[in-house]
C-alpha cells in the first residue's frame, strides 16, 4: 500500500523559538491583535510503501527519530493517510 505521510517537526516544549518570538512581536505593528503562542516548525511530506498502516507508521517513526528531527530540541507529529488509488 502507498501512504501519504506528513511529518510536522516542532521545537520541544521549553526550547526557545526565536523565529516564533520574532513573528509574535511583529504582529501588533501589523494590526493583528489577540494572536499569541506563535511557534515556527517545518512540515515534510512524502509517500511510503508499506504492507499496512502499522508498518508505515513504524518506518516513519524510525525515520523521524534518526533523521528528520533532532530529539534534543525537536519532536514530531506524523499523519498518515492511504493514498488515493489512481
Partner 1 sequence: MARHVAVIRFPGTNCEFDVVEAVTAEGATAEIVFHDATSLGAADAVVVAGGFAHGDYLRPGAIARFSPVMEAVAAFAADGGPVVGICNGFQVLTEAHLLPGALQKNAGLKFRCGMVDLRVDSSDSVLTSGAAEGQLLRIPINHFEGNYTCSPGTLAELRDQDRVVLRYVDNPNGSVDDIAGICNEGRNVVGLMPHPERAISELLGSDDGRVLLRSFLAA
Binding site for partner 1 (CB under 8 A): 15-16, 18-19, 22, 67-68, 70, 72-73
In whole angstroms, the minimum distance from the beta carbon of 73 to partner 1 comes to 5
Radius of gyration, CA atoms only, the chain: 17
In whole angstroms, the minimum distance from the beta carbon of 84 to partner 1 comes to 28
Give 31's contacts (C-beta < 8 A, 6+ positions apart). none
Tell which phi-psi region holds residue 45, choosing left (phi > 0), alpha (psi between -120 and 50) or beta. beta
Closer CB to partner 1, 55 or 68, in the complex: 68
Closer CB to partner 1, 39 or 70, in the complex: 70
User: What is d(CA 3, CA 20) in angstroms, rounded to the nearest whole number?
Assistant: 31
Closer CB to partner 1, 53 or 75, in the complex: 75
Amino acid at each position: 500500500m502507498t501512504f501519504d505521510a506528513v511529518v510536522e517537526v516542532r521545537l520541544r516544549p521549553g526550547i526557545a523559538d526565536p523565529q516564533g518570538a520574532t513573528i509574535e512581536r511583529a504582529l501588533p505593528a501589523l494590526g493583528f491583535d489577540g494572536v499569541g503562542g506563535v511557534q515556527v516548525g517545518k512540515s515534510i511530506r512524502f509517500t511510503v510503501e508499506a504492507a499496512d498502516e502499522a508498518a508505515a507508521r513504524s518506518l516513519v517513526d524510525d525515520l523521524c527519530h534518526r533523521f528528520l528531527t533532532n530529539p534534543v530540541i525537536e519532536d514530531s507529529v506524523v499523519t498518515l493517510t492511504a493514498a488515493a488509488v489512481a
